[in-house]
Amino acid sequence: MDKLAYTQFLNSKHTTPRGIKGLYYWWVTHDTEDNFKKNIDKLEYYKHNPITYKINEQLFRSNFDFDDKVGGMDVDVALGCSHTLGIGHSIENTWPFVLSEKTDRIIINLGAGGHGVETSYINLKKYNKHFNIKNVFHYQPIQSRYYFYNGKHCCFGVTQEDVDTSYNDEYRKQWLISDELILHNHHRGIDAIRGVCSEYGLNYFCNEEPPTASNFDWKVDEFRVNKDPNAGDIPARDLIHYSMLEQKEIANWFYKEL
């Protein structure tokens, strides 16, 4: 693939194919109105503090589009999956927003829900020349999510259930969710992102060890349905993603690394 073709590939729409531009009150799959009603006894906070998701033209959670009007701005960038996008939280309770208040610098949230480390790499490659990036903050749990391109930038996640029910090929069955391949795929992506940051002189901060107080082992599924939060904490509205305090702990960890 020549350089021009690769540039066209990076600039193709969209690197995070999720919905269309607009204002949303719920998020597909997890943070749904039905789930909220079923668990209303655990979600009293959200009865009085509803959530909105503002999705920009590039399909990221942002109050503005990434166009020429904001290109060249001095910014920091947040990379990651749904924990970075902030599913189940108002934007002011997401770790990128909390961190931006600490640094007093705009943070471009490139979190892509349901995607893995390879999408984070592509998103950084795509936008690293659009903004004048100073710092890259990358929170990426290690998961068996694999990137592919079929005219769109897509990702599929492989679980034991998928292997048992959908894949008969022995290679897929044995290796797509193997520790070896999951870790290889993750660290290859981290190294690629670190290389981009080094090439362009960007400061890179990555959670190579999970910074939350619970310090989850990477093999433990961080999606904890109906999680009971610690005293004084508030769960994500979908009862699956990290709580408010855990979001703040991620922001504090990155701030201490500066």
State pLDDT tens for residues 135-144: 999 999 888 7
Structure pTM? 0.84
Residue 221 has pLDDT above 90, yes or no: no
Smallest Cα–Cα separation from 185: which of 113, 108, 115, 86?
115
Report DSSP letters for 132-176, one per residue. Answer: EEEEEEEE-----EEEEESSSEEEEE--HHHHHHH--SHHHHHHT
Strand-strand pairing, 145-149 and 153-157: antiparallel
The most confident of the ranges 40-44, 76-80, 150-154, 166-170 is: 76-80
Task: Report how far residue 12's alpha carbon sits from residue 6's, in angstroms, rounded to the nearest whole number.
Answer: 10
How much is the pLDDT for 179? 75
The lowest-confidence range among 14-18, 38-42, 52-56 is: 14-18
How much is the pLDDT for 146? 79
Residue 216: domain span = 3-257
- CATH number of the domain enclosing 157: 3.40.50
The lowest-confidence range among 32-46, 102-116, 163-177, 241-255 is: 163-177
Q: How many domains does one find in the chain? A: 1
Strand-strand pairing, 145-149 and 22-24: unpaired
How much is the pLDDT for 216? 41
Rounded to the nearest integer, the mean pLDDT of the chain is 82
How much is the pLDDT for 169? 61
Share of the chain above pLDDT 90, in %: 47
Task: Report how far residue 258's alpha carbon sits from residue 253's, in angstroms, rounded to the nearest whole number.
Answer: 9
Residue 26 has pLDDT above 70, yes or no: yes
User: Residue 121: which residues within 8 A CB-CB, separation 6 or more?
Assistant: 189, 192, 193, 196
Residue 220 has pLDDT above 70, yes or no: no
